Amino acid sequence: SMIHGMLDGLWTLLWAVAFFVIFIYVVALIFRDTLGHGQDNGEDNQDAKLVQLYFSSVPMAMYTLFRCSFGECDTRSGTPLFEHVATTHGRMWTLIYSMFLFVVVIGLFNVISAIFVESTMSSNALNASKVKQERLDNKDRWAENVVTLLRSFLVVAWPDMEGLDGLAEGRYTERMLSELVRITFPRQVIDEVVHHDEQALNALTKLDIDPSDHKYLSDILDPANTGSVSILSLVDGL
């Protein structure tokens, strides 16, 4: 299920989070070294003090950049933080902040999302394939549905055949088995069954045969277009 796919994709997500933290840490070191130290612009320069407050240490700088990465880059008073940075350190920092935001939002977040979704979908497809293979490897399930399908063909082709009622329950004689091996079904019988017999259609579905292929079953089982299908060809084809 999708839940299992998401659980399997958690390792990918954890690595993506680790990469994001490392990226924020490296950028925080740069911002801490350049913005975390006060400039000699006067003791009453409130802009400089405010900027220095938010980049006063590496952890504080990382937290500030983390908030800015998600669009929450305001001061406690609600003013844009990088307006104060631009006033104190120059307008070049608005360009640097814009580049940082572009790399994180457009680049890093999209790549992380794509990798996580791809990993989740791949894991989900792998789990579905394993479940399908387990169903195909279930011999009892396969035999039960093949017998159901075979009985539906026999009911249409030879309704008076001896022992037909006990075939679905696994009761048959050696004589009946030898007769079944020699039997061939006209393609018209197969077409009639797959168009009107609900039990046969249900058996085909349980055999993981695509419903869109049901109406083409006679063509699939008789690729040489001989007009009939033997029991052995039926079993091999399914």
- pLDDT band at residue 125 under the 50/70/90 scheme: confident
**Residue 211: which residues within 8 A CB-CB, separation 6 or more?**
201, 204, 205
d(Cα 149, Cα 158) in Å, to the nearest integer? 14
Structure tokens that stand for 46 in this block: 């409130």
Per-residue model confidence as pLDDT tens digits over 27-68: 999 999 998 875 544 455 788 888 999 999 999 999 999 999
pLDDT higher at 38 or 174: 174
User: Residue 203's CB: how many other CB atoms inside 10 A?
Assistant: 21
Residue predicted with more confidence, 170 or 204: 204
